[in-house]
Amino acid sequence: MKMITAIIRPHALELVRGAIQDIGISGLTVTEVKGYGRQKGHSEMYRGAEYTVNFQPKIKLELVVGDEDVAKAIEAISASAKSGKVGDGKIFVSSLESAVRIRTGETGEAAI
């Protein structure tokens, strides 16, 4: 099993969610986060005063998939979140040691 963590632009959430559902992955956790990478923030004007926005609003997605579904999940996220501009996001894949479904006690891939 693998945990896929993706950081994407907020407006891409519904496109990514649809793409994930289309490939048959049903579980997804969404968190609103702020951060920066190569974008490093930007300056804006508000009521005549300039201020710097250091952290960009992003969406963090977490999903757990079987080893055989990793490549198609990454492709679905990448294709639906890509705009070709700096700040499109990142995808991280990490190994998951175990999973337990609390309601039934199922473990491993049966729990996802």
pLDDT value at residue 39:
67
Q: What is the domain-level CATH number for residue 16? A: 3.30.70.120
Q: What is the pTM of this model?
A: 0.85
**d(Cα 30, Cα 71) in Å, to the nearest integer?**
20
Burial readout 88-98 (b: 16 or more C-beta within 10 A, e: otherwise): ebeeeeeebee
Q: What is the pLDDT of residues 31-71, one digit of tens each?
A: 999 988 876 666 677 777 777 777 889 999 999 999 999 99
Tally the domains of the chain.
1
pLDDT greater than 80 at residue 8: yes
Percent of the residues in the chain that have a pLDDT greater than 90, as a whole number: 71
Classify 81 as helix, strand or coil.
helix
Domain that holds residue 66: 2-111
